[in-house]
Amino acid sequence: MPTTSGASSASRLLSIIQDDDASLKEKEDAFSRELSRLQEAQKAQESSIELILRRLHLDDVPKDVAIAHDLLIRQSYESMKKCQSCTHDPRKAKSCFVPKLCYDAKRRELSAPLQSCPFVSKHERESAELEDTLSEMLLSPHFRNRTFDNFNPSAQSQRIYTYAKDWATHYPEQERGLLFFGSYGCGKTHLAVASLLEVRKHYEKDALFLVVPTFLQELKSLFQDGRKFQEHLTRYQRAALLVIDDLGEGQKVNGSLTGWVKETLFSLINYRYEHDLKTILTSRYTPPDLEHVLGMATVSRLCEMCDFLEIDDPDYRKRSFRIIK
Protein backbone atom coordinates (compact mmCIF):
# COMPACT_ATOMS: atom_id res chain seq x y z
CA MET A 1 0.00 0.00 0.00
CA PRO A 2 1.83 3.13 -1.15
CA THR A 3 2.48 5.94 1.32
CA THR A 4 4.81 8.93 1.08
CA SER A 5 7.55 8.76 3.68
CA GLY A 6 7.32 12.46 4.42
CA ALA A 7 3.55 12.56 4.72
CA SER A 8 1.92 13.47 8.00
CA SER A 9 0.02 10.90 10.02
CA ALA A 10 -3.30 12.45 9.01
CA SER A 11 -2.34 12.24 5.35
CA ARG A 12 -1.36 8.61 5.69
CA LEU A 13 -4.65 7.70 7.38
CA LEU A 14 -6.57 9.56 4.68
CA SER A 15 -4.59 7.73 2.01
CA ILE A 16 -5.51 4.39 3.57
CA ILE A 17 -9.21 5.22 3.64
CA GLN A 18 -9.25 6.49 0.04
CA ASP A 19 -7.31 3.56 -1.45
CA ASP A 20 -9.94 1.97 -3.72
CA ASP A 21 -7.64 -0.87 -4.71
CA ALA A 22 -7.32 -2.17 -1.17
CA SER A 23 -9.73 -4.60 0.38
CA LEU A 24 -11.50 -3.83 3.64
CA LYS A 25 -9.19 -6.25 5.45
CA GLU A 26 -6.10 -4.57 4.02
CA LYS A 27 -7.45 -1.19 5.04
CA GLU A 28 -8.18 -2.40 8.59
CA ASP A 29 -4.70 -3.90 8.92
CA ALA A 30 -3.02 -0.76 7.55
CA PHE A 31 -5.18 1.44 9.74
CA SER A 32 -4.29 -0.66 12.78
CA ARG A 33 -0.56 -0.44 11.99
CA GLU A 34 -0.77 3.33 11.60
CA LEU A 35 -2.62 3.71 14.89
CA SER A 36 -0.04 1.54 16.62
CA ARG A 37 2.71 3.69 15.16
CA LEU A 38 0.93 6.82 16.38
CA GLN A 39 0.48 5.38 19.86
CA GLU A 40 4.17 4.47 20.04
CA ALA A 41 5.12 7.94 18.85
CA GLN A 42 2.83 9.49 21.44
CA LYS A 43 4.32 7.35 24.21
CA ALA A 44 7.81 8.33 23.10
CA GLN A 45 6.75 11.97 23.05
CA GLU A 46 5.21 11.74 26.52
CA SER A 47 8.25 9.91 27.83
CA SER A 48 10.54 12.55 26.35
CA ILE A 49 8.53 15.40 27.86
CA GLU A 50 8.35 13.66 31.25
CA LEU A 51 12.11 13.22 31.20
CA ILE A 52 12.62 16.93 30.43
CA LEU A 53 10.23 17.95 33.20
CA ARG A 54 12.00 15.66 35.68
CA ARG A 55 15.33 17.22 34.77
CA LEU A 56 13.79 20.64 35.35
CA HIS A 57 12.24 19.49 38.67
CA LEU A 58 8.70 19.99 37.36
CA ASP A 59 7.33 16.52 38.12
CA ASP A 60 4.04 18.03 39.34
CA VAL A 61 2.97 19.12 35.84
CA PRO A 62 -0.02 16.94 34.75
CA LYS A 63 0.44 14.86 31.62
CA ASP A 64 -2.30 16.61 29.65
CA VAL A 65 -0.85 20.05 30.44
CA ALA A 66 2.62 18.86 29.44
CA ILE A 67 1.32 17.49 26.12
CA ALA A 68 -0.54 20.73 25.42
CA HIS A 69 2.67 22.71 25.98
CA ASP A 70 4.96 20.28 24.16
CA LEU A 71 6.56 22.88 21.87
CA LEU A 72 7.11 25.40 24.68
CA ILE A 73 8.76 22.75 26.86
CA ARG A 74 11.09 21.54 24.13
CA GLN A 75 12.10 25.02 22.95
CA SER A 76 12.76 26.17 26.51
CA TYR A 77 14.81 23.07 27.26
CA GLU A 78 16.92 23.51 24.12
CA SER A 79 17.59 27.14 25.06
CA MET A 80 18.65 26.06 28.55
CA LYS A 81 21.02 23.43 27.15
CA LYS A 82 22.65 26.04 24.92
CA CYS A 83 22.93 28.36 27.90
CA GLN A 84 24.70 25.69 29.94
CA SER A 85 27.26 25.19 27.19
CA CYS A 86 28.44 28.82 27.16
CA THR A 87 31.53 30.14 28.96
CA HIS A 88 29.47 31.91 31.63
CA ASP A 89 31.45 35.08 31.00
CA PRO A 90 29.89 37.78 33.25
CA ARG A 91 30.38 40.41 30.53
CA LYS A 92 28.32 38.36 28.10
CA ALA A 93 25.91 36.99 30.67
CA LYS A 94 24.80 40.45 31.80
CA SER A 95 22.85 40.77 28.55
CA CYS A 96 21.96 37.07 28.24
CA PHE A 97 18.53 35.76 29.17
CA VAL A 98 17.18 32.23 29.18
CA PRO A 99 13.57 30.96 29.52
CA LYS A 100 12.62 29.40 32.84
CA LEU A 101 9.65 27.01 32.82
CA CYS A 102 7.09 27.80 35.52
CA TYR A 103 3.90 25.87 36.32
CA ASP A 104 0.81 27.57 37.75
CA ALA A 105 -1.12 24.71 39.37
CA LYS A 106 -4.16 26.86 40.06
CA ARG A 107 -4.54 27.82 36.40
CA ARG A 108 -3.00 24.61 35.08
CA GLU A 109 -0.73 26.67 32.84
CA LEU A 110 2.90 26.47 31.86
CA SER A 111 4.86 29.63 31.04
CA ALA A 112 8.48 30.38 30.21
CA PRO A 113 9.42 33.91 31.33
CA LEU A 114 12.96 35.05 30.58
CA GLN A 115 15.42 35.20 33.46
CA SER A 116 18.97 36.47 33.62
CA CYS A 117 21.74 33.89 33.32
CA PRO A 118 21.43 31.52 36.31
CA PHE A 119 25.08 30.49 36.08
CA VAL A 120 26.52 33.93 36.86
CA SER A 121 25.98 35.47 40.28
CA LYS A 122 24.24 38.79 40.76
CA HIS A 123 27.50 40.25 42.08
CA GLU A 124 29.46 39.11 39.02
CA ARG A 125 26.82 40.50 36.69
CA GLU A 126 26.66 43.85 38.50
CA SER A 127 30.46 44.06 38.48
CA ALA A 128 30.52 43.46 34.74
CA GLU A 129 27.82 46.07 34.20
CA LEU A 130 29.78 48.56 36.30
CA GLU A 131 32.96 47.93 34.32
CA ASP A 132 31.12 48.52 31.07
CA THR A 133 29.56 51.68 32.47
CA LEU A 134 32.95 53.00 33.55
CA SER A 135 34.39 52.23 30.13
CA GLU A 136 31.51 54.09 28.48
CA MET A 137 32.30 57.04 30.74
CA LEU A 138 35.90 56.90 29.41
CA LEU A 139 37.17 56.51 32.96
CA SER A 140 40.53 54.74 32.97
CA PRO A 141 41.01 51.66 35.19
CA HIS A 142 43.39 53.59 37.48
CA PHE A 143 40.59 55.87 38.67
CA ARG A 144 37.66 53.45 38.83
CA ASN A 145 37.97 52.79 42.55
CA ARG A 146 38.15 56.46 43.54
CA THR A 147 35.17 56.87 45.86
CA PHE A 148 34.27 58.98 48.87
CA ASP A 149 34.61 55.88 51.04
CA ASN A 150 38.33 55.44 50.33
CA PHE A 151 39.30 59.12 50.37
CA ASN A 152 41.09 59.97 53.60
CA PRO A 153 40.71 63.71 54.16
CA SER A 154 43.20 65.60 56.27
CA ALA A 155 42.14 68.24 58.75
CA GLN A 156 42.61 70.82 55.96
CA SER A 157 40.64 68.94 53.29
CA GLN A 158 37.81 67.64 55.50
CA ARG A 159 35.62 70.62 54.66
CA ILE A 160 36.22 70.19 50.90
CA TYR A 161 35.49 66.47 51.17
CA THR A 162 32.19 67.12 52.99
CA TYR A 163 31.20 69.83 50.52
CA ALA A 164 31.85 67.61 47.49
CA LYS A 165 30.02 64.63 48.99
CA ASP A 166 27.01 66.77 49.86
CA TRP A 167 27.05 68.22 46.33
CA ALA A 168 26.95 64.74 44.77
CA THR A 169 24.31 63.46 47.19
CA HIS A 170 22.00 66.37 46.33
CA TYR A 171 22.97 66.56 42.69
CA PRO A 172 19.51 67.37 41.21
CA GLU A 173 19.30 70.46 43.42
CA GLN A 174 22.70 71.84 42.37
CA GLU A 175 22.85 74.82 40.04
CA ARG A 176 26.64 74.99 39.83
CA GLY A 177 29.45 72.56 39.19
CA LEU A 178 32.74 72.11 41.05
CA LEU A 179 36.31 73.16 40.30
CA PHE A 180 38.96 71.56 42.53
CA PHE A 181 42.34 73.28 42.48
CA GLY A 182 45.57 72.60 44.30
CA SER A 183 49.07 71.25 43.81
CA TYR A 184 50.05 67.86 42.40
CA GLY A 185 48.81 64.79 44.27
CA CYS A 186 46.50 66.58 46.70
CA GLY A 187 43.44 64.48 45.80
CA LYS A 188 41.70 66.73 43.25
CA THR A 189 41.02 63.97 40.74
CA HIS A 190 39.99 61.53 43.46
CA LEU A 191 37.26 63.87 44.71
CA ALA A 192 36.19 64.75 41.17
CA VAL A 193 35.83 61.08 40.21
CA ALA A 194 34.15 60.24 43.53
CA SER A 195 31.57 62.95 42.81
CA LEU A 196 31.09 61.64 39.28
CA LEU A 197 30.61 58.03 40.41
CA GLU A 198 28.21 59.03 43.18
CA VAL A 199 26.02 60.95 40.74
CA ARG A 200 26.15 58.16 38.16
CA LYS A 201 25.27 55.56 40.78
CA HIS A 202 22.19 57.31 42.16
CA TYR A 203 20.92 59.32 39.22
CA GLU A 204 22.21 57.39 36.15
CA LYS A 205 23.14 60.56 34.32
CA ASP A 206 24.97 60.50 31.02
CA ALA A 207 28.46 61.17 32.35
CA LEU A 208 31.93 61.41 30.78
CA PHE A 209 35.49 61.88 31.99
CA LEU A 210 38.27 63.56 30.02
CA VAL A 211 41.89 64.42 30.69
CA VAL A 212 42.66 67.67 28.87
CA PRO A 213 45.99 66.74 27.19
CA THR A 214 44.58 63.40 25.99
CA PHE A 215 41.39 65.08 24.77
CA LEU A 216 43.41 67.61 22.78
CA GLN A 217 45.57 64.90 21.21
CA GLU A 218 42.46 62.98 20.16
CA LEU A 219 41.03 66.09 18.49
CA LYS A 220 44.31 66.81 16.70
CA SER A 221 44.31 63.30 15.27
CA LEU A 222 40.93 64.07 13.69
CA PHE A 223 41.97 67.31 11.98
CA GLN A 224 41.67 65.76 8.53
CA ASP A 225 38.09 64.62 9.09
CA GLY A 226 35.88 67.57 9.98
CA ARG A 227 32.82 65.43 10.64
CA LYS A 228 34.57 63.10 13.11
CA PHE A 229 36.29 66.07 14.74
CA GLN A 230 32.95 67.77 15.43
CA GLU A 231 31.30 64.53 16.58
CA HIS A 232 34.11 63.94 19.07
CA LEU A 233 33.89 67.47 20.45
CA THR A 234 30.08 67.42 20.53
CA ARG A 235 30.03 64.22 22.58
CA TYR A 236 31.79 66.01 25.45
CA GLN A 237 29.93 69.27 24.97
CA ARG A 238 26.54 67.59 25.42
CA ALA A 239 27.23 65.11 28.23
CA ALA A 240 24.81 65.66 31.11
CA LEU A 241 27.76 65.63 33.52
CA LEU A 242 31.40 66.04 32.50
CA VAL A 243 34.64 65.83 34.47
CA ILE A 244 37.46 67.87 32.93
CA ASP A 245 40.70 66.75 34.55
CA ASP A 246 43.96 68.77 34.44
CA LEU A 247 42.48 71.98 33.09
CA GLY A 248 45.28 74.31 32.01
CA GLU A 249 47.59 71.54 30.84
CA GLY A 250 48.67 71.37 27.21
CA GLN A 251 51.03 73.02 24.77
CA LYS A 252 52.06 76.50 25.98
CA VAL A 253 53.83 79.58 24.69
CA ASN A 254 55.28 81.89 27.37
CA GLY A 255 53.25 80.14 30.04
CA SER A 256 49.95 80.51 28.18
CA LEU A 257 48.16 77.83 26.19
CA THR A 258 48.39 78.12 22.41
CA GLY A 259 45.59 79.86 20.55
CA TRP A 260 44.08 76.67 19.17
CA VAL A 261 44.01 75.01 22.60
CA LYS A 262 42.37 78.06 24.17
CA GLU A 263 39.76 78.20 21.41
CA THR A 264 38.99 74.49 21.71
CA LEU A 265 38.59 74.58 25.48
CA PHE A 266 36.53 77.76 25.24
CA SER A 267 34.24 76.03 22.72
CA LEU A 268 33.79 73.07 25.07
CA ILE A 269 33.20 75.11 28.23
CA ASN A 270 31.12 77.83 26.57
CA TYR A 271 28.71 75.25 25.12
CA ARG A 272 28.17 73.75 28.57
CA TYR A 273 27.81 77.24 30.05
CA GLU A 274 25.14 78.23 27.53
CA HIS A 275 23.20 74.97 28.01
CA ASP A 276 23.42 74.90 31.83
CA LEU A 277 25.22 71.54 31.87
CA LYS A 278 26.98 70.77 35.12
CA THR A 279 30.73 70.30 34.98
CA ILE A 280 33.39 69.14 37.44
CA LEU A 281 36.94 70.34 36.81
CA THR A 282 40.38 69.93 38.34
CA SER A 283 43.42 72.17 37.90
CA ARG A 284 46.77 72.76 39.53
CA TYR A 285 46.39 76.48 38.83
CA THR A 286 44.88 79.03 41.18
CA PRO A 287 42.08 81.15 39.67
CA PRO A 288 44.38 84.11 38.86
CA ASP A 289 46.97 81.81 37.27
CA LEU A 290 44.27 79.93 35.39
CA GLU A 291 43.10 83.21 33.87
CA HIS A 292 46.58 83.81 32.48
CA VAL A 293 46.95 80.25 31.20
CA LEU A 294 43.44 79.75 29.82
CA GLY A 295 42.16 83.23 29.01
CA MET A 296 39.77 85.64 30.72
CA ALA A 297 36.69 84.66 28.68
CA THR A 298 36.82 80.99 29.70
CA VAL A 299 37.62 81.63 33.37
CA SER A 300 34.86 84.23 33.56
CA ARG A 301 32.34 81.56 32.55
CA LEU A 302 33.81 79.07 35.01
CA CYS A 303 33.32 81.58 37.82
CA GLU A 304 29.59 81.54 37.13
CA MET A 305 29.43 77.80 36.41
CA CYS A 306 31.32 76.40 39.40
CA ASP A 307 32.19 76.64 43.05
CA PHE A 308 35.99 76.78 43.42
CA LEU A 309 37.34 74.36 46.04
CA GLU A 310 40.96 74.68 47.14
CA ILE A 311 42.75 71.59 48.43
CA ASP A 312 45.92 72.39 50.35
CA ASP A 313 47.11 68.87 51.17
CA PRO A 314 50.65 67.65 50.37
CA ASP A 315 51.34 65.24 47.51
CA TYR A 316 49.91 61.89 48.65
CA ARG A 317 51.85 60.06 45.92
CA LYS A 318 55.11 60.84 47.69
CA ARG A 319 53.91 58.85 50.69
CA SER A 320 54.57 55.68 48.70
CA PHE A 321 57.97 56.91 47.47
CA ARG A 322 60.79 54.49 48.24
CA ILE A 323 64.32 53.77 47.11
CA ILE A 324 65.51 50.18 46.93
CA LYS A 325 69.27 49.67 46.81
Residue 257 pairs in a beta bridge with 252
Query: According to the model, what pLDDT value does residue 95 have?
Result: 59
Q: Report yes or no: 188 and 181 within 8 Å, Cβ to Cβ.
A: yes
For 157-196, how does the pLDDT look when each residue is reduced to its tens digit (9 = 90+)? Answer: 899 999 999 999 999 999 999 999 998 888 899 999 999 9
Tell me: pLDDT of 46 over 80: no
Of 80-84, 106-110, 223-227, 259-263, the one with minimum mean pLDDT is 80-84
More confident of the two residues 240 and 92: 240
For 13-31, how does the pLDDT look when each residue is reduced to its tens digit (9 = 90+)? Answer: 667 666 767 677 776 777 7
Tell me: pLDDT of 251 over 60: yes
Query: According to the model, what pLDDT value does residue 47 have?
Result: 64
What are the Cα distances from residue 298, in Å, to 183, 213, 231, 272, 311? Answer: 21, 17, 22, 11, 22
Asked whether the CA dihedral 193, 212, 304, 154 is positive or negative, the reply is positive
More confident of the two residues 249 and 22: 249
For 87-103, how does the pLDDT look when each residue is reduced to its tens digit (9 = 90+)? Answer: 556 555 555 677 778 88
Q: Report yes or no: 181 and 308 within 8 Å, Cβ to Cβ.
A: yes
Tell me: pLDDT of 215 over 60: yes
Bridging pattern class, strands 102-104 and 252-253: unpaired
More confident of the two residues 254 and 90: 254
More confident of the two residues 11 and 120: 11
Helix (H), strand (E) counts: the chain: 13, 11
What are the Cα distances from residue 288, in Å, to 56, 184, 279, 303, 304? Answer: 71, 18, 20, 11, 15
* Backbone dihedral region for residue 84 (phi beyond 0: left; psi -120 to 50: alpha; all else: beta): alpha
> What confidence category does residue 298 fall into, taking pLDDT thresholds of 50, 70 and 90?
very high
Bridging pattern class, strands 177-181 and 102-104: unpaired
Q: Report yes or no: 255 and 294 within 8 Å, Cβ to Cβ.
A: no
Tell me: pLDDT of 66 over 50: yes
The average confidence (pLDDT) of the chain is: 80
Of 129-133, 142-146, 164-168, 289-293, the one with minimum mean pLDDT is 129-133
Mean pLDDT, residues 215-238 taken together: 89
- What is the H or E stretch that residue 164 is in? helix 158-169
Mean pLDDT, residues 287-310 taken together: 94
Nearest 5°: the CA angle 226, 227, 232 is 100
Give the contacts of 90 (CB within 8 A, at least 6 positions apart): 120, 124, 125, 127, 128
> What confidence category does residue 45 fall into, taking pLDDT thresholds of 50, 70 and 90?
low
What are the Cα distances from residue 310, in Å, to 51, 72, 161, 306? Answer: 70, 64, 11, 12
Residue 46 pairs in a beta bridge with none
Query: According to the model, what pLDDT value does residue 290 have?
Result: 93
Cα–Cα dist 311/166, whole Å? 17
Query: According to the model, what pLDDT value does residue 194 have?
Result: 92
Task: Report the share of the chain in percent with pLDDT over 90.
Answer: 32
Q: How many CB atoms lie within 10 A of CB 39?
A: 10
Sheet with strand 278-283: strands edge to edge: 207-211, 241-245, 278-283, 177-181, 306-310
AA letter at 138:
L
Of 100-109, 123-132, 185-194, 212-221, the one with minimum mean pLDDT is 123-132
Tell me: pLDDT of 63 over 70: yes
Query: According to the model, what pLDDT value does residue 4 have?
Result: 38
